[in-house]
Amino acid sequence: MLFELKVFPNFDNTFYYHNKPDNTWTFYRSKFNRFKSPWGVGRHTYQIPAKTRDTIYVHVNVNAPNVVSKRFEAQFILQSQAELNSQKSGRFTAWAVGMVVLLLFFFNNLYIYFSFKDKATGYYLVVQLAAMAYLTSYCLYFERIQPYTFAWLLKNRLHTYTIDKLAMHVAILIIFGGTINLCRLYLNTKVTLPGYERVLKYSLRTYIIFVVGSITLTLLFFNIDGGVILVDNALCLLLMLLLLFTSIKAYRVRAPNARVFLLANCLPLLLMVSIPLYHLFVDINGIDSYWLPVIASGAQALSFSVALVSRTKAIRDTLIETETESRQLALSLEEIAHINNMNEKEIEPAKTNITTQTHQNLLLNQQLESHRRELAASTLFMVQKNELLDQLKTQIKELKGASQYHVNRNVNDMIDMLNNNDQLRTGWDKFKVHFEQVHPSFFEDLKQQHPTLTKKETRLYAYLKMQLSNKEIAILMGIDQASVRRVKTRLLKKVNAAEGE
């Protein structure tokens, strides 16, 4: 019957046993090598016939490096090979089942991720990859890929820090990082639970600092993994409880999708909590609890996959609703564009009319400006002519005292010029023509409104309409400025009185 004997301290042991067929003593040496897996260090397999006794001598070498204490106690553990094979078979079965389940959920959600590019689904995929690494390291399969080991002999046991332990710590860190970020995104804690958002963020940072610090100290200085494993499991337990309380709080405040997330969290979190509790109170190494992480990882993958399906359905419904709104908006825009085109067609004749009217107004303005220039020129001409007449009158007055010769020579011509009423009347008629071109029907309207006005008052009213000064009016009418003011006052009183009636 095959047995395996484990002896501690286990850094460098030599087993001496009696080979009965040859009737000789044989020895087997088991020494630690950091470039080989430490799994078989301090172990010896041998066969003992049933119902017999045998004697084995073990030489334990305690002159190993990094011995913390010289005090030690020898420890011997004897197990049957059948029991060990059963443990190995159960470990492989648990690992294979867990890997198949995780891979199925991983590839299913990988398709969902590339379909919707949802960040929460991305964190879920990262968690599943880390869970695969955790199961592989938990079942001690990374040592077969890279057996390099850090070792310290502490009292009666060779303590090792293998690639499996390193991968396990890193995998757990990634699992918690991905799960916490998935929770924050799924529940939108930044908006719905800002207080819990800060607690989740800083708790994760604290755990990252703890794990990275313990790994760094172990790799560079001394193996503290055995001393901090209780703290590590306690922190993991606290993070799981924090996730559970956050889910419950989100459900109580009626956050979107909180109910689905809470239901998805309950079973896997309870199973995940059982792992650190098992390590804390049952078996610190947990070498016989391979099914616990498998069941917890599978439940976590299943429940969160269901939660993500619900989230994906909500996202898809939102996208469909948005697409429907976009189509309606596009139809509305097309309808508006069609209406605008119809309006453009209806407005086009109006635009043409406006353009024509604008052109006509421009021509009218040009004509009006021309008439204004002509009126101004006519007014100026009349002012100059009356000034000339005033000068002639003055000269006539001066000629009265001159010699008879000069008087007789010029007086007749001057008198003819002053008495030429047709020429003066022609100047006023020309002024009226230009004035009515600028102010159509002015004189007719004025006569209808004020029929009692004299011709002189009508002329004065026209000059006032042109805003001429008293001096200019005095010249045109052949009177002084004081007379202009008096005539203007009488005219305004007469007009106001007529309007008051």
User: Which of 143-152, 379-388, 430-439, 461-470 is most confident?
Assistant: 461-470
CA distance 460 to 476: 9
- Position 41 scores a pLDDT of 60
Residue 172 has what pLDDT?
92
Residue-level pLDDT at 234: 85
What does the pLDDT read at residue 138?
84
**132 and 248 in one domain?**
yes
Is the per-residue pLDDT at 287 higher than 90? no
Instruction: Decide: 158 and 41 in contact? Cβ < 8 Å.
Output: yes
Query: Is the backbone of residue 478 left (phi > 0), alpha (psi -120 to 50) or beta?
Result: left
Cβ atoms 234, 206 nearer than 8 A: no
Whether 254 and 166 share a structural domain: yes
Instruction: Give the Cβ contact number of residue 336 at 10 Å.
Output: 10
100 with 15, same domain: the answer is: no
Q: Which residue has the higher pLDDT, 203 or 421?
A: 203
Provide, rounded to the nearest whole percent, the portion of the chain with pLDDT above 70. 69
Residue 324 vs residues 111, 309, 319, 327: alpha-carbon distances, Å: 25, 22, 8, 5
pLDDT (tens digit, 9 = 90+) per residue, 331-382?
888 888 888 888 878 778 877 787 788 778 777 776 766 666 566 646 656 6
Asked if residue 216 and residue 282 are part of one domain, the reply reads yes
Under the banding of pLDDT at 50, 70 and 90, the label for residue 75 is low
The residue ranking higher by pLDDT, 283 or 173, is 173
pLDDT of residue 154 exceeding 60: no
* Residue 66 reports pLDDT greater than 50: no
Average pLDDT of the segment spanning 118-132 = 90
The answer to whether residue 249 is domain-embedded is: yes
> What phi and psi values does residue 79 have, to the nearest 5 degrees?
-135, 150
Flag whether 481 is in a domain.
Answer: yes
Who contacts 130 (Cβ-Cβ below 8 Å, separation ≥6)?
171, 172, 174, 175, 178
- The pLDDT-based confidence of 198 (bands split at 50, 70, 90) is very high
* Residue 90 shares a structural domain with residue 207: yes
Same domain membership, residue 299 and residue 161:
yes
- 68 has a pLDDT exceeding 50: no
Task: Answer whether residue 283 shows pLDDT above 50.
Answer: yes
168 and 239 part of one domain: yes
Domain that holds residue 59: 2-64
**Is residue 392 located within the same domain as residue 474?**
yes
Residues 400 and 435 grouped into a single domain: yes
Question: Where among 284, 307, 330 does a domain terminate?
Answer: 307
Residue 436 within any structural domain of the chain: yes
d(CA 166, CA 178): 18
Pairwise CA distance, residues 459 & 272, whole Å: 112
Residues ≥6 apart with Cβ < 8 Å to 264: 303, 304, 306, 307
Please say which residue of 307, 323, 340 terminates a domain. 307
Q: Which residue has the tokens 């850090």?
A: 150
Give domain status of residue 338, yes or no: no
Predicted local confidence at residue 157, as pLDDT: 53
Q: Is residue 11 part of a domain?
A: yes
How many other C-beta atoms are found inside a 10 Å radius of the C-beta of residue 385?
Answer: 15
Domain contains 74: no
**285: pLDDT strictly greater than 70:** no
- Where residue 17 falls among pLDDT bands split at 50, 70, 90? confident
Average pLDDT over residues 228-252: 88
The total of other beta-carbon atoms located within 10 Å of residue 342's CB is 10
Least Cα distance to 301 among 499, 467, 129, 156 occurs for 129
Query: How does pLDDT run across 484-497, given as a tens digit for each residue?
Result: 888 888 888 887 87
pLDDT score recorded for residue 204:
93
Q: Are 487 and 460 in contact (CB under 8 A)?
A: yes
Can you tell me the distance from the alpha carbon of 92 to that of 291, in angstroms, rounded to the nearest whole number? 10
The answer to whether 484 and 490 are in contact (CB under 8 A) is no
Least confident of 12-26, 44-58, 371-385, 394-408: 371-385
Domain end point (choices 259, 287, 307): 307
Minimum mean pLDDT among 122-136, 350-364, 430-444: which range? 430-444
Is-cis flag, bond preceding 194, omega within 30? Answer: no
- pLDDT tens sequence across 44-61: 676 777 677 777 787 777
Domain assignment of residue 225, yes or no: yes
Residues 114-124: tens digit of each pLDDT: 877 888 889 98
Q: Do 88 and 47 lie in a common domain?
A: no
Residue 240 has pLDDT above 80, yes or no: yes
Residue 96 has pLDDT above 70, yes or no: yes
Residue 227, domain CATH: 1.20.1070.10
**Length, in residues, of the chain:** 501
What pLDDT shows up at residue 422?
Answer: 44
pLDDT greater at residue 223 or residue 90: 90
* Alpha carbon distance 424, 402 (integer Å): 28
68 contacts 187 by C-beta, under 8 angstroms? no
What's the domain count of the chain? 3
Q: Is residue 361 part of a domain?
A: no
pLDDT, averaged across the chain: 76
Burial of residue 122 (number of CB atoms within 10 Å: 0-12, 13-18, 19+): middle
Do 288 and 214 lie in one domain? The reply is yes
Give the mean pLDDT of 380-406.
66
| Residue with more model confidence, 75 or 249 | 249
Q: Are residues 25 and 88 in the same domain?
A: no
Over 50: is that where the pLDDT of 173 sits?
A: yes
The predicted-structure confidence for 241-271, as pLDDT tens digits, reads as follows 898 899 899 989 988 888 888 888 777 777 7
Identity (one letter) of the amino acid at 309? V
